[in-house]
Structure 1
Amino acid sequence: MWTRKPGMRPFRSPGVGHRVIHMFTTRPTLQGTFGMCASTHWLASQSAMAVLEDDGNAFDAAVAAAFVLHVVEPHLNGPAGDVPAIIAPAGGPVRVLCGQGPAPAGATVEHYTSLGLELVPGTGPLAAPVPGAVDAWLTLLRDHGTKSLEDVLKYAVGYAENGHPPVEAIGDTVESVRELFETEWTTSAELYLPAVRPGALMTNRPLAATWRRLIAEATGPTREARIDAARRVWREGFIGEALTAFAARPAMDTSGERHAGTLTGDDLVRWEATYEEPATYDWNGWTVCKAGPWSQGPSLLQQLALLPADGLEYGTPDYVHTLVEGTKLAMADREAWYGDAADVPLDDLLSAEYNAGRRALIGAEASYELRPGAPGGRTPRLPKLPAPATGGAAGAGEPTMKSHDPMAVPGDDPRDQSHRRGDTCHIDIVDRWGNMISATPSGGWLQSNPVVPELGFPLGTRLQMTWLEHGLPNSLTPGRRPRTTLTPSLALRDGVPVLAFGTPGGDQQDQWQAHFFLAVALRPPVRGGYDLQGAIDAPNWHTDSFPSSFYPRGMTPGAVTLESRFGADVVDGLRRRGHDVTLAHPWSEGRLSAVARDPRTGLLSAAANPRGMQGYAVGR
């Protein structure tokens, strides 16, 4: 089904049933007993590992990695962005840490429609919620870490001050918005246009100065008191003052007009990160944990609930068809039922009775309709949808970058990506004590908003995911969280955490993660541990048959995009079933990473995405 690539390690899997599939991986699954870190950038992974080597735990390491990602992946996340994380303290309960800030008090439907808007803009101050990422990371450090604020910030400060080699996609992103920077967002031009010179190290000295001042002003008698003082500085001190002052300045956005934002100092002061129970689903001896339906996370649980009880033969055309059709049903329910502005009937959505009825809708042919269900007899209501897109993937607020080389031809090599998606970051860490975390930081991209010059970073744009209609679960509502696509995952066996994983990718995140999880769960282990790298490297896919979460909220009914490494049997089989198939670059679908722990032996494993040659796992 999938052809061998020279230099790849062979892996023979019986899959499900009796079909034999030959898998090949780009790298080994790392294994050890001390600690494992995997992320979307090698400098973040190695910084996290340095914290573990310095006797820090997984949560200390995750905070250090997160602040490094603000520096080395500024086109994918920033301090004023968002982060959900799923944490599993050794011997303690699994919890979701919510770092998704809500809509400000002034962010009402009436305010936006009075400006002549039908959608929240995809960029600019009007799209900015309360920033959530920094307060969440500091809360995690206070409650579950062991290190000081200075200990975990020193890596990010060092790279911001002394420079780092920028990945190519940063330059691609800056070039894609150069005209906007030069004509409108001049504070961004001043920071980023000089920083992406070919061959030069990239610095962000205003950001380094921000963190140095934060450390200096965060005083107190104990480690915990100093971290809480830093949280107050973020909300009420020089950082909060600068953020809210800049939000009040009109700036050009995707509507083609200049608008001021609604974020105020009171909004910052009133909000703080919180811990929550995860949404869970039991499947074939696994318990999969996700953030609640203020995120799209439960859509992965619904995809599992829709699988047929007698299983599928892994990797066949029927297997991919069934997963694609289940995704369409789960995402239709996401659109009709998920959000923080109303109660979500999640128990009904995950019930056996409901999913038996939904499963019966998966026929032999591809569906081109958006078909939400009626959990508990409720009547679904969809937002007013934009006109369907024609040809290719739906548009999104998270940018797609192309290679500068007009002659670039997609090849059979992860390094040769003529197509790069920019969007989000991801971190997975497990330590020798059994602490585990999966986190997906995003938002506050350099292309989101103008840079606040004295801070070195912009505001986020997560409000673009809300609807300017009353009465929807994801209506723009003051004090309520916009439904986020950020969706880390953590899985248990027999009640014990064993696997943490996730990916960037906007609406694609829970599609790619579902395929990854099934590749782990349905195929045999390697060297006594889960074959994480094989599952990451396996050809992946996504569908755009539902409204995008990002401005301008387009959809492409019936569309499914496959990495071209899929065999002709799958491609032809899907087309015969009526799917509108697009063959993409062979290494373009997903930026997954994962860590695992065997509680019986203490064996730790890790793997990271080879696509784009940027994500790496480290450990020993």
Structure 2
Amino acid sequence: MTQFTTRPEITGTFGVAASTHWLASQTAMSVLERGGNAFDAAVAGGFVLQVVEPHLNGAGGEVPILLWSERERRIRAICGQGPAPAQATAEAFRRLGLEQVPGIGLLPATVPGAFGGWVTMLRDYGTWSLADVLAPAIEYARNGFPLVARAVQAIYAVQDLFRSDWHSSAQVWLPGGKVPRPGALFRLPKLADTYETVLRTAEAEGGTRTQVIDAALRCWYQGFVAREIDTYYRNEKARDSSGELNGGLLRYEDMEHWQAGIEDPLTLDFDRYTVAKCGFWSQGPVFLQQLGMLRHAGLENHHPHTAGFVHRITEAAKLAMADRLAWYGDAPHANREAQLALLADEYLRERWSLVNESASREFRPGRPLGLDPRLPDLSVAERTLSRSDTRFGIGEPTFVNLPPVQEWAEREVFVGDTCHIDVIDRDGNMVAATPSGGWLSSSPVIPALGFAISTRLQMTWMDDGLPNTVTPRVRPCTTLSPSLALRDGEPYMVFGTPGGDQQDQWSPAFFLRHAVHGMNLQEAIDAPAWHVDHFPASFWPRKTTLNRISLESRFPEETIAALQQAGHEVKVGEPWSESRMAACSRSRDAEGRLILRAGANPRGMQGYAVGR
């Protein structure tokens, strides 16, 4: 069925890349053109994203990665999500009079895992030197890149905080004391200095490509980068979401022994496809649970523009997100057997049996293995809001942070939150990565390094005994969620999106438009999209909303009316206000030749797919 698209689906045989920013996509493609493989290209593009989308990710953030290696003929997950500091206990936060980990500032910092995640993939799967993959990012940081309008919007939103309290951030993001102009060339010289110092230090040790990369990892986590982070977090205080000045908990000792993990992903079959996601330390299994339920939904009988399609996926998402709250996480009380049982077909059939033609208004976590779910105290968000009449930001920069907090917590003006990049090379190697954290509005810039640190710890709870209770040296359960799919047992597609809690709603809907209804990648990306709010938000102040579905106004009027009649609280948004998907695929023609395809999100006018 032919659908309207904003641009063609890219098709080629040499290589494809798609990301949330045209400069990252083109950087990745330029690496492929010069003989690099998909892993080299994704790393180079990933470091460029840190520079050109500074409101969405940064050098002090994190990155989960899924990859397919033709050499190994298997899927691997790389966890570039850093853990909580050793001092980060619920009691430590309670002593400060807090019921939640703040959304911004120094207290919610985790070990910055992005550098370790990217560079570990480069070392183990790439072919290029670290200097070569870092060169484009350093070039843009040193000599300038066009600052997109949404980055300027993010700076504008927090300019008062920068001026009054976060002076190191003001020095970087308010040059001459002014908010920069959209489209003007912007420079990050201190970040360029940091990466060049890492390279000089590592190369001075000499050795092979791999040895230099290992030296760079030591430089970051055991050398001057770790020492500068320790000094700043040990000695400084910063205004955070509570409105108070608080110091940080992150220390050198938290970083010196950490390294990115390489794991087998979780998988689930759907018709001829097998979808792979990161483990229960991520939101990824929410996607798999939905697919397992929707195997029984008859989606082939419901066109993607109809209420039947939207309603069924939405109700599955509600159930999966309830399970996320009750069962996902990496803390000591996480039940590994129960987590795996969430993906069992018998359990997912039982969950799907709860769905009917009416919208559920209940929050219904399941009982894997017959176990009772335990939930956090969800009233804490309202108490936090009532005590936080300040102008000091919320947790995720999907929101424009305007005072007072009770007002802007209700505003949903999109400015961004995360990035994504996909790459496939001519040999068939594949990468999907979703970098985030270390946003310019997350925490103060460390002056000696030129970047901020992730505040991912805000996604933990302070209730004792939960699978995602804040726990020393344990990674928080992240929303970041790249995707990789096989088709008929062969590697087929990498895809993903920014969007916090929306990532594993927009991604399954995109996948099902493609896998069930045959839309090509660009058609499935461009099709009208939606998301549901039916859970406590993952980001501070973690407010709970139930049964609200937000749809693009491009849906037919009859679809919107039918959803309202089914009991959904419908919120109609702007025509192109939902989803930020990017995707690349590979398949073979009748003669066995590898055919590569790619598509990217037109919303926001900065995501692009390239290839030949």
TM-score interval w.r.t. the shorter chain? over 0.9
Alpha carbons 2:100, 2:380 under 8 Å: kept: no
Q: What whole-Å deviation, never above 9, does each CA across 1:473-495 have from its counterpart, x for those lacking one?
A: 00001111100000000000122
- 2:443 aligns with 449
The residue aligned with 2:328 is 338
Other-structure match for 1:147? 128
Conserved 8 A contact 1:170-1:196: no
Query: How many Å separate the matches in 2 of 1:362 and 1:128?
Result: 39
Taking the TM superposition and a 5 Å limit, the aligned residue runs for 1:68-107 are 68-91=48-71, 92-107=73-88
- Is residue 28 of structure 2 the alignment partner of residue 36 of structure 1? no
Instruction: Report which stretch shifted further, 546-555 or 362-371.
Output: 362-371
The residue aligned with 1:319 is 309
1:166 lines up with 2:147 in the alignment: yes
Aligned counterparts of 1:241 and 1:26: Cα–Cα separation in 2 = 48
Letter in 1 for 2:32: L
Which residue in the other structure is 1:367 paired with? 360
2:500 aligned partner: 506
Equivalent residue, structure 1, for 2:409: none
Cα distance in 2 between the residues matched to 1:321 and 1:226:
52
Question: Residue 476 in 1 paired to residue 491 in 2?
Answer: no
Specify the alignment match of 2:223 in structure 1.
237
Moved more, 464-473 or 213-222: 213-222
- Cα-to-partner distance string for 1:80-127 (whole Å, 9 max, x where unaligned): 111100010114210100000111111011101111100000001110
Cα distance in 2 for residues equivalent to 1:579 and 1:524: 28
Q: In structure 2, what residue type is equivalent to 1:591? A: R
Q: Distance in 1 between matches of 2:131 and 2:297?
A: 53
Is the aligned partner of 1:252 residue 2:239? Answer: yes
Q: Structure 1 CA distance, aligned partners of 2:558 and 2:290?
A: 23
Task: Specify the alignment match of 1:279 in structure 2.
Answer: 266
1:582 alignment partner, SS class: strand
SS of the counterpart of 2:152?
helix
For 2:537 and 2:179, the matched residues in 1 are separated by 31
Summarize deviations over 1:546-569 as a string: whole Å, max 9, x none.
011000001211100001101111
| Residue number in structure 2 paired with 1:382 | 375
Equivalent pair of 1:396/1:554 in contact (CA under 8 Å): no
How far apart are 1:598 and its partner, in Å? 0.3
TM-superposed CA distance for 1:386, in Å, is 3.0
Letter in 1 for 2:194: T
CA contact (8 A) 1:82 1:101 kept: yes
Partners of 1:396 and 1:548 within 8 A in 2: no
For 1:118, the equivalent position in structure 2 comes to 99
Of 485, 488, 492 in structure 2, the residue corresponding to residue 494 of structure 1 is 488
1:62-96 CA-partner distances (Å, limit 9, x unpaired) = 11011101100011001111110001011421010
Mapped to 2, the partners of 1:228 and 1:403 lie a distance apart of 40
Pairing 1:569–2:558 present:
yes
| Segment of structure 1 superposing worse, 194-203 or 372-381 | 194-203
Q: Which residue of 2 aligns with 1:216?
A: 200
Query: 2 CA distance for matches of 1:421 and 1:324?
Result: 24
Superposed CA RMSD in Å reads: 1.6
1:245 alignment partner, SS class: helix
Q: 3-state SS of the aligned residue for 1:501? A: strand
Q: 1:534 aligns with which of 523, 546, 549?
A: 523
Quote the Cα distance in structure 1 between the aligned partners of 2:50 and 2:400.
22
Return the alpha-carbon distance in structure 2 between the equivalents of residues 135 and 467 of structure 1: 26
Is 1:329 matched up with 2:329? no
- Alignment match, 1:392: none
- Do structure 1's residue 349 and structure 2's residue 342 form an aligned pair? yes
Alignment partner of 2:146: what SS?
Answer: coil
Contact 2:16 2:425 in 1 (8 A): yes
Name the counterpart of 2:407: none
Aligned-pair distance for 1:401?
5.1
What corresponds to 1:55 in structure 2? 35
* Equivalent residues in 2 for 1:524-603, closer than 5 Å: 524=518, 531-599=520-588, 600-603=592-595
With over 3 angstroms needed to count, the CA separation of the structure-2 counterparts of 1:338 and 1:604, relative to structure 1, is: same
**C-alpha distance in 1 between matches for 2:353 and 2:335:** 26
SS of the equivalent of 1:331 reads helix
Question: How far did residue 396 of structure 1 move?
Answer: 6.2
Secondary structure (helix, strand or coil) at the match of 2:597 reads strand
Output the CA distance in 2 between the equivalents of 1:458 and 1:563: 34
C-alpha deviation, 1:160, in angstroms: 0.4
Aligned position for 1:7? none
Cα offset, 1:420, TM superposition: 2.6
Contact 1:388 1:556 in 2 (8 A): no
Which residue of structure 1 lines up, in the alignment, with residue 605 of structure 2? Answer: 613
Contact persistence 2:157–2:401 (CA under 8 A): no
Q: Note the C-alpha offset of 1:441.
A: 0.1
Q: Which secondary structure does the structure 1 equivalent of 2:186 belong to?
A: coil
User: Are the counterparts in 1 of residues 64 and 78 from structure 2 also a CA contact under 8 Å?
Assistant: yes
TM-score (norm 2): 0.92
Mapped contact 1:396–1:549 kept (Cα < 8 A): no
Question: Cα distance, 1:403 vs. partner?
Answer: 13
1:601 CA drift (Å): 2.8
Please list the CA deviations of residues 33-80 of structure 1 after superposition, one character each: whole Å capped at 9, or x if unmatched: 000010000001111111111100000001101110110001100111
Q: CA deviation at 1:604?
A: 0.2
The separation in 1 between residues aligned to 2:443 and 2:609, in whole angstroms, is: 31
**Distance in 2 between residues matched to 1:375 and 1:435, nearest whole Å:** 36
User: What SS is found at the alignment partner of 2:314?
Assistant: helix
Contact 1:419 1:588 in 2 (8 A): no
CA distance in 1, matches of 2:51, 2:243: 29
Residue of structure 1 in register with 2:387 after alignment: none
> C-alpha separation between the residues in 2 aligned to 1:87 and 1:319?
30
Secondary structure in structure 2 of the residue aligned to 1:37: strand
What are the Cα deviations for residues 496-550 of structure 1, in whole angstroms up to 9, with x where unaligned?
A: 110000000000000000100001101236xxxxx10000001110011101100
After alignment, is 190-199 or 156-165 more displaced?
A: 190-199
Contact 1:542 1:560 in 2 (8 A): yes
Given that residues 440 and 503 in structure 1 are in contact (C-alpha distance below 8 angstroms), is that contact kept between their aligned partners in structure 2? yes
In structure 1, distance between residues paired with 2:139 and 2:335: 45
Aligned to 1:5: none
Q: CA deviation at 1:388?
A: 8.1
- The residue number in structure 2 matching 1:16 is none
Shift of 1:351: 1.3
CA distance in 2, matches of 1:403, 1:28: 36
Count residues with an aligned counterpart: 577
CA distance in 2, matches of 1:534, 1:587: 14
Structure 1 counterpart SS, 2:584: strand
Query: Which residue does 1:6 correspond to in 2?
Result: none
